[in-house]
Amino acid sequence: MSERWTVGTVLAAANEYLSGRDLPGARLEAELLLAHSLELSRFDLYTQFDRPLSEAERTVYRGLLKERSTGRPLQHLTGTQAFRRLDLRMADGVFIPRPETELLVEAVLDRLGSQGGSAEVLEIGTGSGAICVSLAVEAPGTVVWSADISKSALTLAALNARAHGVEDRLNLVHGDLFSAVPAGKVFDVIVSNPPYVPAGEIDALAREVRDHEPRAALDGGPAGLDFYLRIISESRQWLKAGGLVAFEVGVGQASEVAAELSRAGFESVDVTRDYARIERIVTAVYRSA
């Protein structure tokens, strides 16, 4: 009698397969990939645990498992990533947002909520649109500008903006840092999660980051600080008096970024720790002369 492959037995085999390849969260990833391949929710998998899978369905699933075992990110296989209130579309060649970046959004939202009324925000480094789309969704009185040097990132962010109905309050511009922002424009907030991995450390990153994330989204120069220094030096001409600058930083970088902000004349410099108690978010206020 041939073996009967059901949702339950296939999940058990997939969990064993992924676990043997040192992938963390193997069971969860097995479920997410199967739900994606069958166009079901994870809850549906458990209500259909005894459902037999056809050979065609198993073939598709095996292909996804094999790709995941090579280190290809789960988000590239499913094409989605949850971020705060959003279900974002993902694509190869665009940086996958991390959970700690939600704290950067929170810091900006706290500022926008405290000042009340409408506001304009500039994001440097759009990526998938996680930050700029979240801000537009969660702060309805806000107009957001976001700049990126990657056209593929801007294309993906535009799709995510349309999917969440905020394309009319999100201006996506193509250029390096402030180069594409209209001259003379000033903002209430400048926010950025720039590349911050020291160039010499990229090859030592986890395989799925090193091999599948765009290098331009990782490489922060010799010490990982190049983009912070550039943004800080240029940001004052783009900020209103009393405007906020907010950064996500890498491990061990918060004190250096905070010191550079102070040297540049920013005040009320503050550092927030992430879920792992790592100093991750640096904010400061610009007081014009």
Query: Average per-residue pLDDT in the chain?
Result: 93
Return the structure tokens found at 69: 């075992």
CA-CA distance, 248 to 282, in Å (whole number)?
A: 6
Q: What's the rounded Cα separation, in Å, for the pair 125 and 148?
A: 5
- The amino acid occupying position 58 is R
How confident is the model over 148-157, as pLDDT tens digits? 999 999 999 9
- Count of C-beta atoms within a 10 Å radius of residue 48: 14
Q: Name the residue type at position 95.
A: F
Say which CATH architecture domain 7-70 belongs to.
Orthogonal Bundle (1.10)
For the chain, give every domain's residue range. Answer: 7-70, 81-286
Confidence of residue 289 (pLDDT cuts 50, 70, 90): low
Compute φ and ψ for 274, nearest 5 degrees. Answer: -90, -170
- Do the Cβ atoms of 246 and 188 come closer than 8 Å? no
Alpha-carbon torsion, ordered 237, 256, 227, 223, to 10 deg: 160
pLDDT category of residue 145 using cuts at 50, 70 and 90: very high
**Mean pLDDT within 247-265:** 97
Q: Note the pTM of the prediction, 2 decimals.
A: 0.91
List, by residue number, the catalytic residues. 95, 193-194
Angle (deg, nearest 10), helices 7-19 and 55-69: 20
The pLDDT assigned to 1 comes to 33
- In angstroms, the CA 175 to CA 189 distance is 19
Give the gyration radius of the chain's Cα atoms: 21
State the Cα–Cα distance between residues 219 and 229, nearest whole angstrom.
14
Q: In CATH, what number does 81-286 get?
A: 3.40.50.150
Q: Give residue 151's pLDDT.
A: 96
Instruction: Examine the pLDDT at 56 and tell me if it is beyond 50.
Output: yes
pLDDT at 86 over 70: yes
> Is-contact 205 218, C-beta < 8 A?
yes
pLDDT of residue 156: 97
pLDDT at residue 269, as a whole number = 97
90, pLDDT greater than 70: yes
Residue range 210-247, pLDDT digits in tens: 888 989 999 999 999 999 999 999 999 999 999 999 99
Residue 2 has pLDDT above 60, yes or no: no
